[in-house]
Structures are given as C-alpha cells and as structure tokens.
Structure 1
Amino acid sequence: MGASATPATAAPTATATPTAADKPTVKLSTSQAGKGGSVTVEGEGWRPDALLMMLVCGRAAPGKGVIGGTNSCANSEGRAVTTDKDGTFDKKLPVAEPPEPCPCVVHVSTVTGENQQVDAVLKVAGHPVKPLPRQADGGRLSVLTDTRLEGSSGVLTWFGAPPQRTLQFTVGNVGSAPVKDPVFQVGTSHGVFAPEWDEHQWRGTIAPGKKAQIKLPVELSAGAHGDYLVSLKFGGKVLAEQPWGVGRPWGVTLFWILLGVVVPAAVFRIGMAVVDRLRPNRRRTSHGGRHRTGRRLTELAARWPQLRLVQGAVDADRRDHRKPGGSRTSSRTAPTPTSAPPTKPTGGPGTGGSGTTGALPWFTPDTDPGAPAGRLSAPSDDSPTKGTT
C-alpha cells in the first residue's frame, strides 16, 4: 500500500505524413519580361505524365481566373509540356502581348483528365494595363432552377458550321452583400478531355435575397459532333452541368461523296475532249479511203483482160477432165510436138475445141508436169526446126 507508483512514461507517437499529393504550383524565373523575350516556367505537384498548356494571358489575376477564357491569351505563342513521373516540369515560354490588357499571368492548365490550372503573375513590359472589375466579397450566388440549353442547329451547322446554343439559368444571391457584374465561367468538354473554359461577364447587380435570370452563349468548334458536357462555374465552384448531344454534320459527308463522283467525271470528260483534239479528222480519212478504193478499181479494170484469159484456160482444163474417157495427158499435150514456145491463145473463154486453148499458158507441151515420163523426149533430128543447108 505504501509503495509509491512510478510514473508511466508515454510512448513516442509517430507523426503521419500526408500521402495526398500537394496542389500544383508554378514558379517563373522572372516577374517581368518584354515582348520577344522568354521566361522559364517551373512546376511541381502536378499529375505524373500529364499534358499541360502554358499561355500568357491578359485581364487575369491569381485566384480570379482569366476573364474571357483563352480568348484573352496569346494562343499562337503557347507551349505544351509533359510532366515527368514526379509531376514536375521545366520549360521556356516566349513572352508575347496578349489581346487583352494586363494584369497578365502565365496560365498553366491540364489538357486531358481532371482539370487543374494555376496562374502566375507576369508583367509584360510595354503592354497596357486596366483594372479588373470588382467583385464583392460578401455575395454568394446559387443556381435556383435547372439549367437548359436553348436554340437549334441551322442549315449551316449541317454543313460544318460551329454549333451554338444559349445556356439559360436562374441564380439567387444567398450572401449578405450585393453581387455586381458577376463573371461566370462556361466550360465545354468532350470525352476524356478537360473542359475548355470561357469567361462571360453579366451586366447587372443582384441584391441579397434576390434572383436573376441569366443567359450566356455557348459555342463549339467547327465540325464538332458527339456528346458534350456544358459546365457552369462561379467563384471557382461548379454550379451546374448540362449534357449536349451534337449531331453529325451530314452535309459535309454528302459534299465529299459528291466531290468523289464529280471530280472523276470531270477528269474523264476533259480526257475525252483531249483525245478528240489529238486524233485525225474523220472527214479527211474517209476521203482518202475513197480515193484509194477508186485507184484499186482502176487497176483491176486495167488487168481485166489478163484475168479473163487465165480464167478461160482454167475453165477449159476443167471441161477436159469432165469428158468421159478423156485423159489429163491428152488434154495437156499439143497436137504437133515442137520445141517452139506455144502461141498465145487469142480466143476468149468461149472459144473451146482448139488444142492450143487447152494448155495452160505458163507450160510448154514438152515440160508439162502432168505428162508421163515416156512422152517427154528430146526433139528428133527430123524436126523442122533443124534447118538443112
């Protein structure tokens, strides 16, 4: 009972380190630069292997965003960068004058996946500066009714024109201070891509406890089609989202089909016209053929007597073969064998019965290939062709 209790020593507690990733940050190598120069942008705490876009934007400030969205940025001089496995990056960005006056920032945002964006103040030397519209700190807006998209697509949209709608909603001021000229952000996203935000300023004042109906324009890029999501954001908080199904521009498809049919047909017609130009004249060719035909007929008429003689000899030979008991040898043998060449027949094909007309004109009696070998003999010594002295 009297023993004194020794105080228990407290065990050391382990401090838990946060595992959540830090918020993305951006750091510039310089806070002021002129047109034509460059600034090195360093980032930490971003998602690993994330694709980022860096832009120099006007009419913006950290925490307030870029009024007008990317329309207030020098988009032509922007640069894309991909973070490493640690979520860091380091890249140079050329400095250009944005289309809107300063305050200016270097706006870094994700291109795909969850939307992350950070603005770093940059003073562009020589660029005009205008104050931003003031926003009351005590005012808070809330959407009271469901948002809806009004409008319809026209004929030009069917041929690839940018689809346009009007985002209509009603907001109420649930804060303690009036809200004057509030600036809303309208974003459109397609698939896995991050929303592209455009800022629109509504002119007017919403008193505490009052409401107002607001209409903001929404426009997509030319030829856009598919399922889109329209988001409404105010004060860095998303107030509402509205799906938007955009039909395919079938007019563009029809145009390409017609182009694929008309162009080959036009090329074929041009080719046929060139062929008609290059080939010879038909009239000239037909006249030349007629003249050649006339010359051939004249030559045949000039040779007609010779043809009649040859035809008469052939007919006579055929008649000898048709006679009963006739022989080919007797018809081809001359009545008086002589070594002199046969006389040219003077009769026509109708003068039959003469021995001279039965022999063909190109054979002599003693060299007839149809005569027997015994009948072919040399002329005798008593031949009258052998004269006596």
Structure 2
Amino acid sequence: MLVLTPTAPATAVGPSVRLSQTQAGTGGSITVSGSGWRSHALLMLLVCGQSAPSRGVLGGTNSCANADGRAVTTDADGRFSRVLPVTEPPVPCPCVVHVATVTGAKAQADAVLRVAGHPVRPLPARTDGGRLSVLTDIRLDGSSGVLTWFGAPPSRTLVLTVGNVGSDPVTDPVFRVGISHGVFAPQWDEQQWRGTLAPGGKARIRLPVELSAGAHGDYTVSLAYGGRVLGEQPWGVGRPWGVTLFWILLCVVVPVAVFRIGMAAVDRVRPHRPHRSRRSRGLRRAHRGRPAGRTSPARPPWLRRGDRTDAPHAPDAPHAPDAPDAPEASYATGAAAAGPGPTSTLPWFTPDSAPGTAAGRLSAPHDDNPASPTTPVTKGPT
C-alpha cells in the first residue's frame, strides 16, 4: 500500500549574493554569484564603502567605485555569476559588494567584503526613534517653458506627503533625491526639509528637482530617507528643438555672410574700367550711324548743343546738296551767328571766303547761274 505524505510548500526566498572570497586586495578579483533574482533581469555589481548588509549603502552610489562596476543578466532561473575586480571605494570601509537591479522592479542585496589596505571607520549611530513613511504617491509638479525649448535646464518639484510612524519626533529630516538616466545609476543629492514631525503627524514635502542644460530623454527621480528608498517617479523630457533650429540657421547665415564679404573684397581689388560720359556714348552712336568713308569734322570748342539747335541759319549760306552734309552747314551757321568777338576761321574755309564775310558772299556759288559761279546775287529794291 502506497502512502503519500504531504510536503510543506517551499518558502519564497529573496535575492541573495555570494562571494568566492570575503577578503581581497586592490588589483585582485572575486567571483560574485547570486540566486533568487528575477529572470532575465539586468543587475549592476559595485564595491561600496560605509555600508552594511543590515543598513545598506549609506552614501548611495557616491560611496561606490562606479568606474569599476560590472553588469550581468540573470538566466531563466534568476541566477548569475560574474567576475568583479576589487577596487578601493571613495569612502572608508566597512565595505560590501552591492548588487541591485537596473530596470524594472527594484531589488538589491549586499555581501560583506574586506578590502585589504583600505581604511576602516565606524558607521554613524543609527536612530530608530522616528521613522518616516510615504502616505501618498510621489508626483512631479511643473511644466517646461519656452526657455527649456532652447536648452534651459528642465526643472520640476517633487511633491509627497510623509508621516512619522515612530515614537520620537523627527526634526529637519534630510532627504536624498536621486536622478537616473536610462540604465545608469542615480546621482544623489541631499536636500533638507525644515520642520518637525511629531509621532503620528504628517506633512507635505516639496523638494526641487533640476536637470542639466540641454537634457532630454527618459529620467527617473528617486527619493530616499534613512538609507531606504521611499519612492520613484518617471520623468520624460522632450528634445530642445530650439537649439537644433539655432544651429541650422547658423549654418545658413555664416556661409552667406562669408560669401558677401568675399564678393566685397573681390570688388575692391579688381581693376575698374574708365567711366564713359553720356556725351562720348552719343558721339560713338552717331559715328556708327554714318555711311562708311564719311566722317564729320572735329567739333569746335565754342560750339555747344544749344547753339547747334537754336541758332538761325544765315540767309546767304548755301544749302548742302545732300543730307549727310547738314551737320557741316549747321556748324558754319553757328559760327556766323556767334556775333562779334574773336574771329576764328573754320578749317574748311580760307580766311577771305568764310560765309560771314563779304568775299564769302560774293564768291559763294548759286544755283540760278551755274555758268558764273562767282557772280554776286542781285537783290531787288529795298
């Protein structure tokens, strides 16, 4: 006959850490193993000072050798094994190997480690008379302004309600606010709240939180008191697109300014062509309009534009036989109408045959008597 004996249910065991050696010197290494962790969880292994398994890491990750830490992922059964180099922490011992989860639900465990050659100081006295407990959910109040869009430091206010569940009053408690980005460990900052909480009393706590300039991405704000984390709150910060817009405009404006400066420099150093007046341009157009082989005589210096257009023709001046000689006739008429003054002879007349003199009138050719071109013209009765 087979008799079945009921067995006691297995008790839930929390996460644990074991070390291959409990004492090692700087420069050596130890093997850290653990069990009871969440499956496929990412863990961080650190050597921390001023710590004890019963009290945790009093100074937070600022008391740990963060540069020489190691990361490990648990298997499907929640186990892991990792070689960790032994490094002196930035604060005196007692020292521990601190193992904590990076993402997901928070879990941590410590194992005592003696670092050979590192100084040891006793832990501060522990006071258990007053204990604070969070009564409401932690939240972040505030919003981003226009300056944050251009890279100003984002800021929020951490708001929570705490109560004193101990037997002694708590005066001016010091909270530790940690900010972590992604998988990195939080950076802790101590902030003191001014006031006294009597046993059984509660108070509204408001603590400022600020990130660095230009920060963006997913952050986690943690609040700790007395070596215990009271709560966490996620914080998503948008990208400062105003900074991106500024750099785009800078990449456009600077090349344009350099191009304009270069063009101004080229315009200064290149040789300039001589300036042409309107009068010279008009004469060039007039010469282009004349028939080939015929050129107009040089213009006398005393002849002006008004004289050529407004002066009357001499009554006895002969008319030019063809149209292209009209400018020559107008030059002669203008010289005759100039009136009294210094007499000048045009280059195509002799001194005694100018149109304005008596000899010139007598010797001027006439169309009415081609046979005697030098016969003077007979005028009628006056």
TM-score range, shorter chain: 0.5 to 0.7
Which 10-residue stretch deviates more, 103-112 or 28-37? 28-37
Among candidates 57, 64, 68, match of residue 73 of structure 1: 64
Q: Distance in 2 between matches of 1:97 and 1:216?
A: 36
Equivalences for residues 146-225 of structure 1 within 5 A: 159-161=151-153, 163=155, 165=157, 167=159, 169-175=161-167, 196=186, 198=188, 209=199, 211=201, 217=207, 219=209, 221-222=211-212, 223=214
Q: Work out whether 1:254 is the aligned partner of 2:242.
A: yes
Q: Is the 8 A contact 2:169 2:199 kept in 1?
A: no
Aligned to 1:24: 15
Tell me the secondary structure at the aligned position of residue 121 of structure 1: strand
Number of the residue aligned with 1:286: 273
Partner of 1:308: 293
8 Å CA contact retained: 1:113, 1:194: no
Q: Deviations over 1:352-382 (max 9, x none)?
A: xxxxxxxxxxxxxxxxxxxxxxxxxxxxxxx
How far 1:24 sits from its partner (Å)?
1.9
Q: Contact (CA 8 Å) 2:57, 2:227: kept in 1 or not?
A: no
Deviations 1:8-29 (A, max 9, x none): x893224265395x42222222
Q: d(CA) in 2 for partners of 1:28 and 1:181?
A: 39
Indicate conservation of the 8 Å contact 1:142/1:174, yes or no. Answer: no
Q: Which residue of 1 aligns with 2:4?
A: 12
Q: Does the Cα contact within 8 Å between 1:200 and 1:216 map onto a contact in 2?
A: no
1:98 aligns with 2:89: yes
Q: Counterparts of 2:192 and 2:228 in 1: how far apart (Å)?
A: 17
- C-alpha displacement at 1:80, in angstroms? 1.6
1:54-73 paired onto structure 2 within 5 Å: 54-73=45-64
**Stretch deviating more after TM superposition (59-68 or 87-96):** 87-96
Provide the rounded CA distance (Å) in 1 between the counterparts of 2:71 and 2:171: 36
Aligned counterparts of 2:47 and 2:25: Cα–Cα separation in 1: 12
Inter-partner Cα distance in structure 2 for 1:278 and 1:224: 45
CA contact (8 A) 1:144 1:170 kept: yes
Q: 1:212 to 1:102 in 2, by over 3 A?
A: farther
Report what 1:129 is aligned to. Answer: 120
Query: How far apart are the structure 2 equivalents of 1:236 and 1:15?
Result: 39
- Comparing 9-18 with 73-82, greater Cα deviation is found at 9-18
Following superposition, the deviation at residue 196 of structure 1 comes to 4.5
Distance 1:128 1:178, change over 3 A: farther
Higher helix share: 1
Change over 3 Å in CA distance of 1:228–1:260 after alignment to 2:
closer
Deviations 1:113-155 (A, max 9, x none): 1111111212223333222222245765445688776888799
Offset at 1:263?
2.4
- 1:260, CA displacement in angstroms? 0.9
TM-score, normalised by the number of residues in structure 1: 0.55
Partner Cα distance (1:286, 1:53) in 2: 78
1:216, distance to aligned residue in structure 2 (A): 7.6
* Aligned mates of 2:267, 2:196 — CA distance in 1: 83
Whether the 8 Å CA contact 1:136–1:179 is kept in 2: the answer is: no
Structure 2 residue identity aligned to 1:219 = V
CA distance in 2, matches of 1:268, 1:97: 56
CA shift in 2, pair 1:220/1:13, >3 Å: farther
Q: Structure 1 residues 207 and 289, CA, compared in 2 at 3 Å: closer, same or farther?
A: closer
Structure 1: distance between partners of 2:217 and 2:249:
28
Give distance in 2, aligned partners of 1:160 and 1:52: 33
Identity %, equivalent residues? 46
> Counterpart of 2:257?
269
CA offset digits 1:43-67 (Å, max 9, x no partner): 2222222111112222211131112
Pair 280,154 (structure 1): closer, same or farther in 2 beyond 3 Å:
closer
The answer as to 2:68 corresponding to 1:83 is no
Q: Which has the higher mean CA deviation after the structures are superposed, 104-113 or 157-166? A: 157-166
Cα distance change, pair 225–143 in 1 and its aligned pair in 2 (3 A): same
| Residues 1:183 and 1:12: Cα distance change in structure 2 (over 3 Å) | farther
2:273 maps to a residue whose letter is S
Query: Partner letter of residue 265 of structure 1?
Result: V
Gaps of at least 5 residues in structure 1 are 1-8, 310-349, 351-389
List gaps (5 residues or longer) in structure 2. Answer: 295-323, 325-382
Q: TM-score normalized by structure 2?
A: 0.56
| Equivalent-residue separation in structure 2 for 1:197 and 1:214 (angstroms) | 24
**Corresponding residue number in structure 1 for 2:342:** none
Number of aligned pairs?
288
The whole-number CA distance in structure 1 between the counterparts of 2:253 and 2:78 is 57
| Map of 1:3 onto structure 2 | none
